[in-house]
């Protein structure tokens, strides 16, 4: 494995090598010549100072700042104490060993952070904007929504937008973890952070740089470190109490035995010094946050953004996952499957429906407009649109009020209508107070939804659907997917109430997955909110604790798997570190182990714990092969 060291790490390595050479020379000289005590101290101080002068310096400086019980202080006292009682070679060798462990620890930590940093290196430094017929290179922050940008093959998309000219294949791995390229053409929505693999694209920007997908991702990852899990907070508090307590015990261990037993003071002091070295809790203080950091980075590689270690800890304890249906478990790509007029023609019904939905970009609205256009049915653009949350919309067209929505909207406006027991979404239409009929619209289940539900069941997790759809549509989807329970015809506030009921039942933590604006309240209320990030509503993404960048529900299984693995690593590190320290503390107190074992219990355990924590990073996403890229580019 090729490990590239930083300038600081190289300097530390050279010092360690120099200290080892000086120590070997000192050992040879001390065995060959009969040297007086001052000379012995002098020759062993050379390797000691070469390896550990910065440790002693930090210890003195930290004492001046009131930070007494840190690892620098403990190591300085222990090694200088060893030399003071005549263990010259041991004092110098332990300092060298300690610094060697620190170097390995530093390398491991740096590699972990670089892995996440490289993953997050998806924000381009410049963009080409087309202004006045000229190509101008500027920073992405200088480009306003609505401007036209050009992205050539091999370049990263700097901003979110819609393609107005050109076609290409996009590598979305940095956002979604998906290795296969995505084909795009004019009219498709694209996200910043993707890499353009082939043709030149002209894109109309839709968001400013600060609100683009790539900026939000970076902000989420940067903020994640500030949201500590309970395990991290516990370890921080534990270290503040534990270390001073052990230092006090070391003082008693040095002073009391010579007074009450026949143990020599030098032996008692060495036991106390060993005790001090072991007491440093750096294995816990460093490796536990590193485990969460690695888990967050590993999840990011697979298109799952976790906004903090606290959410990862909660996710590992999830016992129930609640799903919104449309856009979460289903594609949200609707098509008209049945037109049921009431006292009018199908053309008249569809014309009124398309007029009502002409001001909306909702998938249901687009399906109604598309059906009218396919049938070449004319319709008027409506005005005065009003959204009735959880029910539908009202507007005015040609002097008449049009209502388009569910049964609740009709009932709220005193419209007599015919109930339809259909498996899709039923949109009722009324104009001028008269019921015109209903249109049945069907959605298709996402390819991985069934597998997601099945895997969650295997993980012992209960699944629930909360939807505003009709009872027939909701229950049909639940049967098709194998969901444990479904609640239908719910308003946004009803979803919150139902989620609270499930949370109150106390069967583990409750996660909610959704993508719409109306899902934001439930996302905030759930123990863990999971949003579909690629094309989900901004309000849902902001309210969520976890964002799935590829909009695939299977990302929930991935996220729970990573969280459980990460928490498992955290528990392993805590148990291993405390177990080894407890054993060596006990044996040091009775003089069974020496300072070498003490240093292993400190530095060695820290290195092993950090290497274990790095497993949380997981493997990099599989890069597409040449064979996979060629057809995509063609």
Quote the tokens at residue 607.
């290195």
- β-pairing, 127-131 vs 134-138, is antiparallel
Share of the chain above pLDDT 90, in %: 20
CA 547, chain centre distance (Å)? 8
Higher pLDDT, residue 593 or 573: 573
Phi/psi of residue 403, nearest 5 degrees: -110, 135
**175 near 203, Cβ under 8 Å?**
no
Query: What SS3 state is found at 334?
Result: coil
Among the listed ranges 155-164, 189-198, 217-226, which one has the minimum average pLDDT value? Answer: 217-226
Q: Would you state the pLDDT for residue 240? A: 66
Pick the catalytic residue: 70, 324, 527, 550?
A: 324
> At a CB cut-off of 8 Å and minimum separation 6, what does 288 contact?
231, 232, 235, 570, 573, 574, 613
Q: What is the mean pLDDT of residues 565-587?
A: 84
**Segment 469-496 mean pLDDT:** 83
Residue range 528-556, pLDDT digits in tens: 888 876 554 565 566 778 888 777 899 89
CA distance 82 to 97: 15
Residue 556 is predicted with a pLDDT of 92
Does residue 296 register a pLDDT over 60? yes
For residue 146, what pLDDT band results from cuts at 50, 70 and 90? very high
Active site residue 188: no
CA nearest to 540, candidates 272, 394, 332: 332
Cα–Cα distance, 431 to 437 (Å, whole number)? 10
Overall average pLDDT of the 53-61 stretch:
87
Closest residue by Cα to residue 101 from 547, 609, 600 = 600
How does pLDDT run across 495-529, given as a tens digit for each residue? 888 888 988 887 789 999 887 656 777 888 888 88
- For the record, the structure tokens of 383 come out as 């005005």
What integer pLDDT is reported at residue 628 of this predicted model? Answer: 42
Q: What is the distance between the alpha carbons of residues 560 and 546, in angstroms, rounded to a whole number?
A: 11
Are 381 and 358 in contact by the 8 Å Cβ rule? The answer is yes
Q: How many CB atoms sit inside 10 A of residue 502's CB? A: 20
- Taking the C-alpha atoms of residue 469 and residue 252, their distance in angstroms, rounded to an integer, is 71
Give the sign of the dihedral formed by CA 402, CA 408, CA 413, CA 416.
positive
pLDDT in tens, 327-348: 788 876 778 888 999 989 999 9
- Amino acid 163: pLDDT: 93
> What band does 228 get if pLDDT is binned at 50, 70 and 90?
low
Q: CA distances (Å), 499 to each of 464, 481, 486, 528, in order?
A: 10, 20, 12, 12
- Helices 88-119 and 7-32: crossing angle in degrees, nearest 10, is 170
Residue 614: the pLDDT is 74
Q: Indicate whether 313 pLDDT > 60.
A: yes
For residue 137, give the nearest of 158, 167, 161, 166 by alpha carbon.
158
Q: Please report the pLDDT score of residue 63 as a whole number.
A: 78
* Average pLDDT for 34-42: 87
Highest mean pLDDT: which range of 228-232, 461-465, 614-618: 461-465
Supply the mean pLDDT for the chain.
80
**Could you read off the pLDDT of 432-446 as tens digits, one per residue?**
999 999 998 877 788
Domains (range + CATH), the chain: 7-118+226-292+565-617 (no CATH), 127-157+159-211 (2.70.150.10), 309-331+445-544 (3.40.50.1000), 335-442 (3.40.1110.10)
Place 232 in a pLDDT band, splitting at 50, 70 and 90: low
Q: Mean pLDDT across the stretch 353-377?
A: 85
* Largest separation between any pair of C-alpha atoms in the chain: 117
238-286 pLDDT, tens digit each:
656 766 777 788 788 888 888 888 888 888 887 887 777 776 666 666 6
Q: What whole-number distance in Å separates Cα of residue 125 and Cα of residue 123?
A: 7
Tokens standing for residue 51 = 């390896």
> What Å distances lie between residue 496 and 467, 524, 541, CA to CA?
11, 9, 17
Question: Which DSSP helix (H) or strand (E) runs through 608?
Answer: helix 605-613
User: DSSP labels for 455-494?
Assistant: HHHHTT-EEEEE-SS-HHHHHHHHHHHT-SEEE-S--HHH
* C-alpha to C-alpha distance for 417 and 435, rounded to whole angstroms: 6
Identify the pLDDT of residue 282: 63
Query: pLDDT category, 77, cuts 50, 70, 90?
Result: confident
């Amino acid at each position: 494995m090729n490990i590239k060291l930083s300038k600081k790490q190289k300097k530390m390595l050279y010092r360690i090598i120099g200290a080892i050479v000086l120590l070997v020379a000192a050992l040879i000289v001390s065995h060959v010549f009969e040297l007086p005590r001052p000379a012995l101290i002098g020759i062993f101080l050379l390797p000691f100072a070469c390896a550990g002068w910065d440790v002693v310096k930090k210890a003195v400086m930290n004492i001046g700042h009131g930070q007494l019980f840190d690892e620098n202080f403990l190591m300085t006292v222990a090694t200088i104490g060893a030399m003071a009682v005549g263990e010259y070679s041991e004092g110098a060798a332990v300092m060298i060993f300690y610094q060697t462990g620190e170097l390995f620890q530093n390398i491991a930590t740096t590699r972990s952070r670089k892995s996440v940093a490289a993953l997050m290196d998806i924000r381009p430094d410049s963009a080409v904007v087309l202004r006045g017929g000229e190509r101008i290179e500027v920073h992405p922050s200088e480009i306003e929504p609505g401007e036209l940008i050009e992205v050539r093959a091999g370049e990263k998309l700097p901003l979110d937008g819609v393609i107005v000219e050109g076609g290409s294949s996009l590598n979305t791995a940095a956002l979604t973890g998906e290795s296969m390229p995505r084909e795009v053409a004019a009219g498709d929505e694209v996200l910043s952070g993707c890499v353009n693999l082939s043709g030149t694209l002209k894109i109309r920007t839709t968001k400013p740089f600060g609100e683009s997908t790539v900026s939000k991702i970076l902000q989420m990852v940067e903020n994640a470190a500030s949201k500590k899990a309970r395990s991290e907070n516990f370890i921080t508090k534990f270290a503040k109490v534990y270390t001073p307590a052990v230092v006090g015990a070391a003082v008693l261990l040095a002073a009391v035995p010579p007074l009450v037993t026949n143990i020599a003071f030098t032996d008692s002091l060495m036991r106390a010094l060993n005790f001090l070295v072991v007491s440093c809790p750096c294995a816990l203080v460093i490796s536990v946050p590193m485990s969460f950091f690695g888990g967050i980075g590993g999840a990011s590689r697979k298109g799952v953004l976790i906004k903090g270690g606290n959410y990862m800890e909660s996710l590992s304890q999830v016992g129930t996952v609640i799903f919104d249906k449309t856009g979460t478990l289903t594609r949200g790509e609707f098509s008209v499957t049945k037109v049921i007029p009431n006292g009018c023609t199908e053309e008249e019904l569809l014309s009124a429906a398309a007029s009502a939905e002409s001001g909306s970009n909702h998938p249901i609205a687009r399906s109604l407009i598309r059906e009218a256009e396919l049938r070449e049915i004319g319709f008027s653009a409506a005005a005065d649109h009003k959204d009735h949350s959880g029910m539908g919309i009202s507007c005015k067209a040609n002097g008449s009020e049009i209502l388009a929505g569910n049964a609740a909207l009709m009932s709220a406006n005193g419209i007599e209508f015919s109930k339809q027991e259909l498996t899709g979404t039923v949109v009722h239409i009324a104009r001028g107070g008269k019921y015109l009929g209903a249109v049945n619209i069907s959605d298709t289940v996402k390819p991985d939804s069934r597998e997601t539900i099945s895997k969650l069941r295997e993980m012992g997790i209960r699944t629930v659907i909360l939807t505003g759809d009709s009872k027939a549509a909701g229950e049909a989807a639940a049967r098709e997917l194998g969901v444990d329970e479904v609640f239908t015809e719910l308003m946004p506030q009803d979803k919150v109430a139902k989620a609270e009921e499930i949370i109150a039942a106390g069967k583990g933590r409750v996660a909610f997955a959704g993508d719409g604006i109306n899902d934001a309240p439930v996302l905030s209320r759930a123990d863990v909110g999971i949003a579909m990030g690629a094309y989900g509503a901004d309000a849902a993404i902001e309210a969520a604790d976890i964002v799935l960048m590829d909009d695939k529900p299977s990302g929930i299984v991935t996220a729970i798997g990573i969280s459980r693995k990460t928490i498992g690593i955290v528990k392993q590190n805590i148990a291993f570190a405390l177990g080894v320290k407890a054993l060596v503390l006990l044996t040091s107190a009775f003089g069974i182990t020496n300072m070498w074992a003490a240093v292993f219990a400190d530095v060695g355990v820290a290195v092993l714990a950090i290497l274990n924590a790095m497993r949380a990073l997981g493997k990099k996403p599989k890069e597409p092969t040449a064979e996979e890229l060629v057809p995509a580019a063609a």
